[in-house]
Amino acid sequence: MAETKLVATSRTEFGKGAARRLRRANLIPAVLYGHGTDPVHVALPGHQVMMAVKHSNALFEIEIDGTLTLALAKDVQVEPVHNVIEHLDLLIVRRGEKVTVEIPVHVVGESAPGTIHVVETQHLSLEAEATHLPDRVEVSIEGLEEGAILHAGDIALPQGSSLLTDPEHVVLTITVPRAEAETEAETEAAPAPAAAAEQD
């Protein structure tokens, strides 16, 4: 995923009042940390950040006072009523460095007729290069029958990624909808119709 380029401004005011003033100016308060550096408090352009964090593990190239810093979105705090970003935590990374990330599971294909899939795990923990992070892990259920179980170790990972989740962890199961299964069971258990009485 390509990084989003942003120009940041340093923050010197803190607290709820300062944060509200930033958001009114369409800016988002953020902090950069990592690699043994002191936290750097900045304000970022709101619209660009909103668009970028629609994808998981958004990568930013941030210019601060003429210096470029690569950073990965680690914690996005969203105000649920108005759906606006209140604060952003950014982890400083370097090109070629491997980082641990949570990648969403995306199901593709269709299981056998009459079955449904149940996703037991929404994300997998992977290690991948900071500048080549996958945006999702695809899990194919094409043609899988009732009772099929996919474990984390069964899933093909994007190139350059290593699995950190337990390989035996259940990611997805294939089953029959409960109402349909109960109907079939009742049909099998029902007694056969009595034969008509013979006429004299």
CATH classification at residue 176: 2.170.120.20
Average pLDDT over residues 86-110: 92
Is residue 110 one of the residues assigned to a domain?
yes
- pLDDT at residue number 148: 95
Greater model confidence, 156 or 183: 156
- Identify whether residues 10 and 74 lie together within a single domain: yes
- pLDDT at residue number 200: 47
- Identify whether residues 87 and 103 lie together within a single domain: no
- Identify whether residues 84 and 133 lie together within a single domain: no
For residue 164, CA distances in Å to 95, 122, 134 come to 21, 15, 15
Q: Which of 93, 117, 134 is the last residue of a domain?
A: 93
Res 20 pLDDT > 80:
no
Residues 6+ apart with CB under 8 A from 85: 28, 46, 49, 50, 53, 76, 77, 78, 79
Q: Which of 143, 166, 150 is nearest to 105 (CA)?
A: 150
Which residues span the domain enclosing 110? 99-186
Q: Which of 93, 111, 129 is the last residue of a domain?
A: 93
Kindly indicate the confidence band of residue 151, based on its pLDDT and cuts at 50, 70 and 90.
Answer: very high
- Identify whether residues 62 and 105 lie together within a single domain: no
- pLDDT at residue number 84: 80
Of 19-23, 117-121, 161-165, least confident by mean pLDDT is 19-23
Is residue 70 one of the residues assigned to a domain?
yes
- pLDDT at residue number 117: 94
- pLDDT at residue number 125: 96
- Indicate the average pLDDT of the chain: 85
Q: Which of 89, 95, 90 is nearest to 132 (CA)?
A: 95
Residue pair 124/155 in contact by the 8 Å Cβ criterion: yes
- Identify whether residues 104 and 182 lie together within a single domain: yes
- pTM beyond 0.85: the answer is no
Instruction: Work out how many domains the chain is built from and give that number.
Output: 2
In this predicted model, what pLDDT tens digit does every residue of 165-200 receive, in sequence order? Answer: 999 999 999 999 876 555 555 555 556 555 444 544
Q: Which of 58, 93, 128 is the last residue of a domain?
A: 93
- pLDDT at residue number 197: 47
- With helix as H, strand as E and coil as C, how does the chain read? CCCEEEEEEECCCCCHHHHHHHHHCCEEEEEEEECCEEEEEEEEEHHHHHHHCCCCCCEEEEEECCEEEEEEEEEEEEECCCCEEEEEEEEEECCCCEEEEEEEEEEECCCCCCCEEEECCCEEEEEEECCCCCCCEEEECCCCCCCCEEEHHHCCCCCCCEECCCCCCEEEEEECCHHHHHHHHHHHHCCCCCCCCCCC
